């Protein structure tokens, strides 16, 4: 079985390994599509904090169910996706219904080898029904679920002004689900091309370039002086995280989806006077995955809008580094097997 391994930062190797077989309580899937996400790019760069090498990347997956043990409701040949967060089931987070932040979590393609190979074996309980969606769509459920989870964490209500910082794939998904929740969404990014994409494809309320000198003034004008009820960072950029407290309404929620290795800081008086609620948003739950699939089926979100580049698995090693080039205009690259 052909497999692509990230041996060290900046280096991939194709390796031939034995194909998996069906184990107890596991499912065998023939991989069809792999979405390339920021985690994969950061792993390649060597900037992903929860990472060891060598590692087989890939956790945005779709495929054909080949065989399984203990997967009620599924049948061979089904189109499926996977919840790639394997939780222990016994820690305090799991006991409280938050397996997405399990104390012993094993994320497929991050803590354990992932899906950049022809076949995978995963615990059957993490299977997701395809519900008639195509393989491209199913490979995009996971990144959209991360955005949906962040919106749910932020407690977004109808007619709220929600500022999403970062118009990459996770940020775009966050904007979509804030809009679906009824919010007036504002996109903030340094990339004018991506801001234009938001205007043309996502039907959001407003865009602001983070490089402008009058960002606060623009946000005041857009929100009628109130500022954003929720600010959601999807960049992981330290400067963006530190500055964003200034964009938040009094009584608002500040949610960090993006991940930063370094400590972040902001003015305590600015934080305190707003009675700010600060929270992280990690991964997603089955509820979020099912919300995404339901929204796709209802036509509320068109995930194929995000796919700007397609790559054959045999060409991925040669083309992967080009995905890091801003000039390429990559929003979402999709690998086909």
User: Strand 11-16 and strand 2-8: pairing?
Assistant: antiparallel
Number of neighbouring beta carbons within 10 Å of residue 101: 18
Q: Higher pLDDT residue, 91 or 193?
A: 91
Nearest to 118 by CA among 10, 15, 44: 15
Q: What is residue 55's DSSP assignment?
A: B
pLDDT in tens, 65-83: 999 999 999 999 999 999 9
| Residue matched to tokens 């023939």 | 30
Structure token digits, residue 59: 């956790």
- Cis omega before residue 24 (within 30°)? no
Q: What is the pTM of this model?
A: 0.94
Separation CA 74–CA 79 (nearest Å): 10
3-state secondary structure of 290: helix
The CATH classification number of 2-139+302-336 equals 3.90.180.10
pLDDT digits (tens, 9 = 90+) for 237-293: 999 999 999 999 999 999 999 988 889 999 999 999 999 999 999 999 999 999 999
**Domain segments of the chain: what residues?**
2-139+302-336, 146-280
Residue-wise pLDDT tens digits, 107-153: 999 999 999 999 999 999 999 999 999 999 999 999 999 999 999 99
Fold annotation for 146-280: Rossmann fold (3.40.50)
Alpha-carbon distance of 152 to 130, in angstroms, equals: 23
Residue of 245, 290, 283 whose CA lies nearest to 265: 245
**DSSP code for 259:** -
């Amino acid at each position: 079985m052909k497999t692509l391994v990230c041996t060290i930062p900046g280096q991939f190797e194709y390796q031939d390994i034995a194909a998996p077989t069906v184990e107890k309580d596991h499912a065998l899937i023939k991989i069809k599509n792999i979405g390339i996400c920021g985690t994969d790019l950061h792993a390649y760069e060597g900037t992903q904090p929860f990472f060891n090498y060598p590692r087989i990347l890939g956790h945005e997956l779709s495929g054909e169910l080949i065989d399984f043990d203990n997967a009620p409701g599924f049948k061979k040949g089904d189109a499926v996706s996977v919840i790639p967060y394997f939780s222990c089931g016994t820690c305090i987070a799991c006991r409280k219904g938050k397996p997405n932040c399990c104390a012993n979590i094993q994320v497929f393609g991050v803590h354990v080898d992932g899906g950049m190979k022809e076949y995978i074996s995963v615990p059957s309980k993490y299977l997701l029904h395809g519900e008639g969606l195509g393989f491209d769509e199913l490979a995009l459920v996971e990144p959209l679920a991360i955005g949906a989870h962040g919106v749910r964490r932020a407690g977004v209500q109808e007619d709220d002004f929600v500022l999403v910082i970062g118009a990459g794939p996770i940020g775009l998904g966050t904007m979509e689900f804030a809009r679906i929740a009824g919010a007036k969404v504002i996109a903030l990014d340094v990339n004018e091309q991506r801001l234009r994409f938001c205007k043309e494809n996502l039907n959001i309320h407003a865009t602001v370039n983070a490089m402008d000198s009058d960002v606060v003034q623009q946000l005041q004008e857009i929100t009628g002086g109130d500022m954003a009820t929720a600010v959601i960072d999807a960049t992981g950029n330290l400067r963006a995280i530190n500055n964003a407290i200034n964009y938040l309404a009094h009584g608002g929620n500040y949610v960090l989806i993006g991940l930063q290795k370094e400590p972040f800081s902001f003015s305590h008086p600015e934080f305190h006077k707003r009675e700010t609620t600060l929270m992280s948003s990690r991964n997603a739950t089955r509820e979020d995955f099912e919300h995404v699939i339901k929204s796709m089926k209802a036509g509320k979100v068109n995930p194929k809008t995000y796919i700007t580049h397609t790559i054959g698995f045999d060409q991925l090693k040669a083309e992967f580094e080009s995905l890091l080039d801003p000039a390429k205009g990559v929003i979402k690259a999709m690998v086909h097997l």
